[in-house]
Amino acid sequence: MSESFLRGRTALVTGSTSGIGLAIAKALAAAGARVAINGLGTPEQIASAVREVEAADAGTGPAHVRHFGADLRDPDAIAAMMRDLAAWSDGGVDVLVNNAGIQHAVPLHEMPVSRWNDILAINLSSAFHTMRAALPAMAARGYGRVVNIASVHGLVASKDKAPYAASKFGLVGLSKVAALEYAAQGNRESGGITVNCICPGWVETPLIEPQIQARMRGGSREDGVRALLAEKQPSLRMTLPEEIAALAVFLCRREAHNITGTALPVDGGWTAQ
């Protein structure tokens, strides 16, 4: 199959102005997709993300990359975004990647109610709203891919992460239900409809750099990484955002038509313990 196998398809990646989401958006563009990015940032940061996705585009050009600024805490804003996307893409998205996520790590009794509400809204409810809008059109075309970026914390728990774990466990469950409901749609030739979760452990992004620095204790950065990962991740190696993106793109291939309802850990053995 051509490496531009997504030419003619449209993808939406939420939380894609940086980190894992941006890496996925770039990889989908490289596979030929028209890409809608969504996420927060300054105008300069958003423009930079659009340029990066355009640069990765497999020859389809800048008109095939666009930023949608919906606040994912707001169901009405999500509905408006999905309507705009349907018009922009001439029918709706073929690939939906729900990547947006936030967390706040404190003990349960110290968790502000407002943070609980925001985490559940962005990490879980926004995926419900985008999937609810996107899946019927996918079924009508006989091809669709939903890739939800959950977390190792959708499979196992850690202290001080009650709303984050609740949202990610919920995202895994939501994905399994949707996978069952749409499993028989389409066929091998069309590609069918699949819904899967990717569950990363430690991923090397700027957000975790302070935790690495705190564990260096006069040693090298590699020492800091190994000390951080030794607490959970047996491989002692972090995953790169581009590696998560490569898995997301593989799940979009026609050959992956029978991979559905899964929660795929990319965690260096964390959940094998």
Q: How far is CA 265 from the centre of its chain?
A: 13
Structure tokens at 115: 């943070």
Residue 269 CB neighbours (<10 A): 13
* Residue 234 phi, psi (nearest 5): -60, -30
Among candidate residues 69, 31, 75, 74, the one with its CA nearest the CA of residue 50 = 69
Q: Are 1 and 253 in contact (CB under 8 A)?
A: yes
Given a contact cutoff of 8 angstroms between Cβ atoms, the answer to whether 160 and 107 are in contact is yes
Residue 138, both tokens: 């996918």
- Residue 2 burial (CB < 10 Å; 0-12/13-18/19+)? exposed
**Does 164 participate in catalysis according to the annotation?**
yes
Which one from 5, 68, 143, 164 is the annotated catalytic residue? 164
The span from the CA of 270 to the CA of 273, in Å, is: 6
Catalytic residue numbers? 164
